[in-house]
């Protein structure tokens, strides 16, 4: 177990990325519960890697959601819907992870869905450099549907109660505190419990970041570094 500053964590993660030995772009999956700090960590890591001269592709599971009607067909607060109906894993594999993986042609699309507009996207493909790094954040990234899709798996661990407190701040203006409470306690946290029971993501991550205090994290490096 390591502990230190935020910059030290990012330096260690950048080293871990650099130690991945593959002959295709390095695919980094940053997993964890909603409001754990995944997106912030992914943005920070992408900035560090770019400063080192790496070509970084930044993408998120939010770009691979199913349309709203499908996501909520079992109910807006359904944990089963959150786990089973939210994400288009076939598209994620087909247009992003497989093209960047072994034998892929490196022609990728970083999203297939616009959440704000609730519409499908048809982005033109881009071509990744052979030594590019995909930094991808999202929930449920170690599901069987994505097995083999990641070259480095990072799990951002934060107590569920802390994620609720952060969500109240993060979602202020977008939804009421009461709505945050209901959404996290009925949909998001129970869906994470389903995920933990089915997959045990902390046991399989290459790096676990304990993000209880973001400016003073602790982390476990289980590969390289």
List 59's β-bridge partners, or say none.
Answer: 136
Q: Residue 224: its pLDDT value, please?
A: 42
Q: Residue 188: its pLDDT value, please?
A: 96
Structure tokens at 197: 């029971």
Please, are residues 59 and 123 in contact by the beta-carbon 8 Å criterion? no
Please, are residues 111 and 123 in contact by the beta-carbon 8 Å criterion? yes
Q: Residue 225: its pLDDT value, please?
A: 39
Our CA dihedral for 187, 95, 129, 206, rounded to 10 degrees, sits at 40
Please, are residues 199 and 215 in contact by the beta-carbon 8 Å criterion? no
Give the predicted TM-score (pTM) of the model: 0.94
Query: Mean pLDDT of residues grouped by 10 in the chain (225 residues)?
Result: 94 96 97 96 98 97 96 94 97 98 97 95 95 98 96 96 92 89 95 97 96 94 60
Q: Residue 223: its pLDDT value, please?
A: 57
Nearest to 193 by CA among 30, 34, 29: 34
Q: Residue 25: its pLDDT value, please?
A: 98
Domains defined along the chain, listed by start: 2-221 (3.40.50.300)
DSSP 118-141: TEE--PPPEE--TT-EEEEE-SST
Structure tokens at 55: 């070509």
**Strand, helix or coil at 163?**
helix
DSSP 65-117: BPPHHHHTTT-TT-HHHHHHSSB-HHHHIIIIIHHHSTT--SEE-S-SEETTT
């Amino acid at each position: 177990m390591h502990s230190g500053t935020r910059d030290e964590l990012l330096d260690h993660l950048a080293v871990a990325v650099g130690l991945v030995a593959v002959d295709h772009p390095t695919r980094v999956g940053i997993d964890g519960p909603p409001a754990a700090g995944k997106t912030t960590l992914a943005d920070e890591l992408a900035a560090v890697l770019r400063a080192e001269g790496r070509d970084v592709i930044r993408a998120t599971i939010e770009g691979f959601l199913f349309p709203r009607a499908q996501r909520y067909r079992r109910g807006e607060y359904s944990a089963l819907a959150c786990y089973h109906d939210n994400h288009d894993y076939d598209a994620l594999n087909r247009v992003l992870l497989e093209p960047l993986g072994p034998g892929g042609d490196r022609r990728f699309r970083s999203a297939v869905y616009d959440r704000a507009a609730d519409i499908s996207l048809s982005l033109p493909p881009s071509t990744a450099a052979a030594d590019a790094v995909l930094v991808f954040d999202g929930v449920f990234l170690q599901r069987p549907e994505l097995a083999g899709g990641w070259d480095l798996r990072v799990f951002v661990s934060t107590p569920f109660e802390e994620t609720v407190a952060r969500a109240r701040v993060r979602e202020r203006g977008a939804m009421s505190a009461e709505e945050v409470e209901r959404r996290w306690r009925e949909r998001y946290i129970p869906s994470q419990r389903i995920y933990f029971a089915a997959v045990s993501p902390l046991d399989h991550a290459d790096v676990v970041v304990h993000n209880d205090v973001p400016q003073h994290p602790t982390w476990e490096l289980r590969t390289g570094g």
